Amino acid sequence: MSEAGPAPTAPILALEDVRKVYRRGAVEVEALRGVSLSVARGEFAAVTGASGSGKSTLLAILGCLDRPTSGAYRLEGRDVAALDDDARTEVRGTRIGFVFQSFHLVPQLTVLENIAVPLFYRGMRRAAREAAAREAAEKVGIGARLDHRPAQLSGGEQQRAAIARALVVRPALLLADEPTGNLDSKNGDAVLGILCDLHRGGATIVLVTHDPRCAARAGREIRMEDGRVAA
């Protein structure tokens, strides 16, 4: 079953023969062995596969957290594999939103302040930061919890706050690595429902998941097998 969203248009990203080799001392691990794929604007794709198949490595490259050992990566038409660290940091901070399995919220900050963190690093003024953070919070249904600290929230609410923080920069691409992995099934379903809503609203999402329900609700499955995309 796939969720209907706006019709996908031009590719937002394309990988061509991407390889990633990790070196640990004398040991080399080939985590990606020639991955070529493209994702259209407005697509919701689930990356699945066994543990160790390269899912997180793929997501790190898509998110400009890491760079390919060889091969090409174009994001919004730009060759991002070739960029230096500063330029990749800029792309990461402005074009990409991340959601992780553990929420990575700052315990001392309120929900509102946590959501606004990425804007702080952009030098945006406080009133504008808070307005944008409120808007992102409303989108994920966490608008009534803005003055709470993360520890006062359920896991599902914390993950919503983390999604709002990812959205606050209005990224072109939303990446999520096992976002329901630390949640019970009810909260996991709620978080998945939010991702589906965002997709219907036009967001481009790439989601790594072990959860067959997640994969079923995305419009597309990219199955990794031993560092390659399975046919």
Q: Which residues bind Mg ion (CB under 5 A)?
A: 55-56
Nearer to ligand ADP, 59 or 195 (CB): 59
139 binds ligand ADP (CB under 6 A): no
Q: Give the Cα separation of 92 and 134 in Å (integer).
A: 22
Which amino acid type is present at position 59?
L
Residue 29 interacts with, from Mg ion, ligand ADP, none (CB under 5-8 Å by kind): ligand ADP
Give me the least distance between CB of 21 and ligand ADP, in Å please: 9
Residue 202 interacts with, from Mg ion, ligand ADP, none (CB under 5-8 Å by kind): none
22 binds ligand ADP (CB under 6 A): yes
The DSSP annotation for 21-89 comes to EEEETTEEEEEEEEEEEEEETT-EEEEE--TTSSHHHHHHHHTTSS--SEEEEEETTEE-TT--HHHHH
Q: Which of 13, 46, 56, 136 is the binder for ligand ADP (CB under 6 A)?
A: 56
Question: Are 163 and 171 contacting, i.e. CB atoms less than 8 angstroms apart?
Answer: no
What the block records as the tokens of 170 is 């209005």
Nearer to ligand ADP, 56 or 159 (CB): 56
**C-alpha angle with apex 223: 213 to 157, nearest 5 degrees?**
40
Nearest-CB residue for Mg ion: 56
Give me the least distance between CB of 133 and ligand ADP, in Å please: 30
Give the interface with ligand ADP as residue ranges (CB under 6 A).
22, 24, 29, 31, 49, 51-57
